[in-house]
Amino acid sequence: MKIAESFTIPAPKSAVWDVFMNVEKLASCVPGCRDMTALSDTEYEAEMEVKTKFMTIAFKANGQLKGFAELKS
């Protein structure tokens, strides 16, 4: 499954990159994130948990910052 969405964050670029580069800060911004590990400067693995009215779904998710070099500059 691929989930794609875009949005604008009204903050200085340096403040946004500070969150992406700090795994604890990034994890706190992701709903349902129980734990997150940085695998590299651009890749993360997270343990997620989503609760619905009738069940709880737990899963691992991998994320990657694409276009990292171009976006950071």
- What's the pLDDT score for residue 73? 55
pLDDT of residue 1: 62
Each residue's pLDDT tens digit, 37-73: 999 988 999 999 999 889 999 999 998 888 765 555 5
Phi, psi of 3 (to 5 degrees): -115, 125
Q: Return d(Cα 35, Cα 37) in angstroms, integer.
A: 7
Q: What residues pair up with 44 in beta bridges, in sequence order?
A: 38, 63
